[in-house]
């Protein structure tokens, strides 16, 4: 047995999962479940300073909680519930470790400079929806919401629209669990997290596109335990 091991010698390089893509060739990467998460959804549309609501002005935010950067080009967002539709991220979209990116329907509303565009993006106004993120090889990465229950958070109160934000947990926090989500809150912090929104929309559209999420109603930015 010892002779056989010596004959084999040291393995060359590191063994990776089947079909591993690192994006070194400029193409897409793939992911591991739970590393890339849907972290915010504005499904209730935007509201400008004049109180005019645009139900089509919506976005989906994604956060990288993994240990390596990822190119999301070619990844899938599968929507089921009130609306059944599959979106494919069409262009190169790198998200670095710990960073947030967001995909909007258009650039002519309250979010003029999104990281990516999904022109056919349509989210139900209060109806059940579940968004399932899959990588380019169609591996399940992260679900968000429920296809049978109303949205876990967010909405429009006839004055302001609020996004559905993921609690930025240190550990765990499944997107399919209502307890993982909260309404956007007005955070009194030195660095604003709504600076990627048009100025005329900040008063009546409460969201944090492409930025860390606001604290939950307990005031905590992150919770969880080592268990």
Q: What is the pLDDT of residue 123?
A: 97
Which has more confidence, 9 or 99? 99
Q: What is the pLDDT of residue 226?
A: 35
By mean pLDDT, which of 120-129, 188-197, 206-215 is the weakest?
A: 188-197
Which has more confidence, 33 or 50? 50
Q: Is the pLDDT of residue 3 over 80?
A: no
Mean pLDDT confidence for 73-98: 96
Which has more confidence, 12 or 106? 106
Q: Rounded to an integer, what distance in angstroms lies between the CA atom of residue 45 and that of residue 43?
A: 6
Q: What is the pLDDT of residue 18?
A: 52
The pair of structure tokens assigned to 66 is 């993994």
Mean pLDDT confidence for 73-83: 97
Q: Which residue, 121, 120, 115, is CA-closest to 103? A: 115
Q: What is the pLDDT of residue 13?
A: 47
Q: Rounded to an integer, what distance in angstroms lies between the CA atom of residue 54 and that of residue 200?
A: 13
- Please list, in sequence order, all residues whose beta carbon lies within 8 angstroms of the beta carbon of residue 145, skipping any fewer than 6 positions away: 41, 81, 128, 129, 130, 131, 151, 152, 164, 175, 176
In the structure, what pLDDT confidence band is assigned to residue 185 with cuts at 50, 70 and 90?
A: confident
Ramachandran angles phi, psi of 224, nearest 5°: 130, -175
Residue 201 DSSP one-character state: G
In the structure, what pLDDT confidence band is assigned to residue 215 with cuts at 50, 70 and 90?
A: confident
- Please list, in sequence order, all residues whose beta carbon lies within 8 angstroms of the beta carbon of residue 82, skipping any fewer than 6 positions away: 124, 127, 128, 129
Q: Decide: 35 and 65 in contact? Cβ < 8 Å.
A: yes
Mean pLDDT confidence for 99-117: 97
Q: What is the pLDDT of residue 165?
A: 95
The distance from CA 75 to its chain's CA centroid, rounded to whole angstroms, is 12
Q: Decide: 165 and 39 in contact? Cβ < 8 Å.
A: yes
Q: Which residue, 105, 101, 79, 82, is CA-closest to 92? A: 101
Helix (H, G, I), strand (E, B) or coil at 92: coil
Q: Work out the angle at residue 179's Cα, subtended by the Cα atoms of residues 53 and 64, and round it to the nearest 5 degrees.
A: 75
Mean pLDDT confidence for 14-42: 83
Mean pLDDT confidence for 158-186: 86
The pair of structure tokens assigned to 83 is 């609306």
Hey, what domains does the chain have and what are their CATH numbers? 27-206 (2.60.40.1260)
């Amino acid at each position: 047995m010892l002779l056989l091991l010596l004959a084999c010698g040291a393995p060359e390089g590191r063994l990776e999962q089947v079909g591993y893509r690192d994006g070194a060739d400029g193409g897409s990467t793939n992911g591991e479940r739970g590393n890339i998460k849907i972290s915010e959804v504005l499904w209730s549309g935007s509201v400008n300073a004049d109180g005019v609501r645009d139900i089509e002005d919506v976005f989906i935010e994604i956060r990288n909680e993994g240990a390596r950067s990822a190119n999301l080009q070619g990844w899938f967002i599968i929507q089921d519930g009130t609306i059944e539709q599959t979106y494919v991220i069409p262009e190169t979209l790198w998200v670095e470790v710990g960073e947030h990116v967001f995909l909007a329907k258009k650039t002519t509303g309250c979010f003029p400079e999104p990281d990516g565009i999904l022109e056919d993006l349509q989210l139900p106004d209060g109806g059940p929806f579940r968004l399932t993120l899959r990588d380019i090889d169609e591996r399940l990465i992260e679900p968000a919401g429920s296809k049978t229950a109303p949205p876990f958070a967010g909405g429009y109160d006839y004055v302001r629209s609020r996004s559905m934000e993921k609690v930025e947990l240190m550990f765990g926090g499944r997107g399919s669990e209502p307890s993982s989500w909260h309404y956007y809150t007005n955070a009194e912090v030195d660095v604003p997290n709504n600076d990627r929104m048009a100025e005329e929309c900040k008063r009546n559209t409460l969201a944090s596109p492409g930025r860390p999420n606001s604290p939950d109603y307990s005031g905590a930015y992150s919770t969880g335990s080592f268990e």
